[in-house]
Amino acid sequence: MSHSQRLPQDPQIRALVKAMGRRSFSRRSVLSTAGALGLTGLLAACGTGGSSGTKTEVAVTDISDTDPTVNWANWTLYLDYDDKKKTYPTLDAFTKDTGIKVNYAEDIDGNDSYYGKIQGQLKSGQDIGQDIITLTDWMAGRLIRQGYTQELNLDNIPNSANLLPSLQNVDFDPGRKHSLTWQTGYAGIAWNKKAYPKGLKSVEDLWDPALKGRVTVLDEMRDTMGLLMLQNGVDLTGSWGESEFGTAIDTLRQNIENGQIRQVKGNSYKQDFISGDAIAGIVWSGDMVQMNFENDDQWEFVIPEAGGTLWSDNLMVPVASPRKTNAEKLMDFYYDPAVAAEVAAYVNYICPVVGAKEEMEKIDPDLVSNPLIFPTDEDLAHAHVFRSLDADEESTLSSQFQDAIGA
């Protein structure tokens, strides 16, 4: 890529990115068709809900000035990566700019499983060893209500003003005092094009006998159950209840018990696709783009005819983190439009940063028109947000889902 393209607004970051050059880690879209959505309204509605809890009060001394490190827990394949150097280029640039070392860990495989690991320490007001955690809207809402996150000092994150307007005020975190969106995406369906040339159009197609034992679905309740309920004609944003949820649970349970579904997994489902153990399933949009880039375009991703789900993941600082200021500096770095575009070029999820689309023009023009990164309002009325659940619903429905998947 040309080094003459416009670089980040911050002069130090500009110099660093220029020195790095534009690497070949850009993830080019291989999707010819896919559902997208209008950002207005939909992104603002991204899910919440969760169990209530007594807020945890913790007195924390910020040691950022004397400890130039920040620990960040994220999902897999969720940050730009240089395969040759085995490094994260934007993290390298941040460290060169600030002197702050980032200990980055792909520790999150699922919201529930990660919450189970950290909830006890958070409740006790203990440092979990991470200064930033990245969780989906509904789980982010739970942690914020329970007092498990620290309030952000937005003066340390001036680039937070670049957050898409539709995401600046969400019901689980009014005014964005405790969280900032990392990426947004869809759950839909995918298949191995060579192993299953027939292809998929609907969730119901996953129950084809030819796919028996080769289907994987997500352990994220709102995504798997959302797609199953959409298949049944349920409006996910409406006033559905246990009856509609129960009908979809029966379908899920039946296809687990009869062996149609091989496994129910979090992020690790990707390994089943790569190994060939699974050839179809309910998946996350950006994963398939990334996997295709590295595995010769083996899979096709679509939003089902009945619709897909829409979600966002959020950056938060745990309640006892002693390096909140360093965490805020890292958040600010990733809200620079040019840096956000670098990440989006790799992960291929919906970018939440205003100005990143213009920066993408200089990084990889082919991605500017990718509706999975920069959707337009007319792209779709096809992506749906799983409505908010109150505490009782969360407990009841989650228990039913966990029982069905044998967790």
Q: Give the mean pLDDT of 306-334.
A: 96
Q: What is the pLDDT of residue 99?
A: 98
Flag whether 225 is in a domain: yes
Both 163 and 190 in one domain: the answer is no
* Res. 39: pLDDT tops 60: no
Name which of 108, 292, 265, 285 is nearest 187 in CA terms: 285
Flag whether 143 is in a domain: yes
Q: Domain range for residue 104?
A: 23-29+58-184+312-376
Flag whether 242 is in a domain: yes
Both 221 and 353 in one domain: the answer is no
Both 243 and 257 in one domain: the answer is yes
Per-residue pLDDT of 250-303, as tens digits, reads 999 999 999 999 999 988 999 999 999 999 999 998 888 888 888 999 999 999
Comparing 186 with 261, which gets the higher pLDDT?
Answer: 261
Flag whether 63 is in a domain: yes
Both 227 and 203 in one domain: the answer is yes
* Angstrom distance (rounded) from CA 233 to CA 153: 43
Flag whether 317 is in a domain: yes
CB 384 within 8 A of CB 310: yes
CA 101, distance to chain mean position in Å, is: 24
Q: What is the pLDDT of residue 42?
A: 61
* Angstrom distance (rounded) from CA 37 to CA 387: 17
* Res. 77: pLDDT tops 70: yes
Q: State the pTM of this model.
A: 0.77
Q: What is the CATH number of the domain that holds 127?
A: 3.40.190.10
Q: Which of 9-18, 51-60, 222-231, 277-286 has the lowest mean pLDDT?
A: 9-18
Flag whether 367 is in a domain: yes
Per-residue pLDDT of 326-385, as tens digits, reads 999 999 999 999 999 999 999 989 999 999 999 999 999 989 988 878 876 655 568 888
- What total number of domains does the chain contain? 2
Q: Give the mean pLDDT of 375-401.
A: 83
* Angstrom distance (rounded) from CA 231 to CA 202: 7
Both 394 and 269 in one domain: the answer is yes
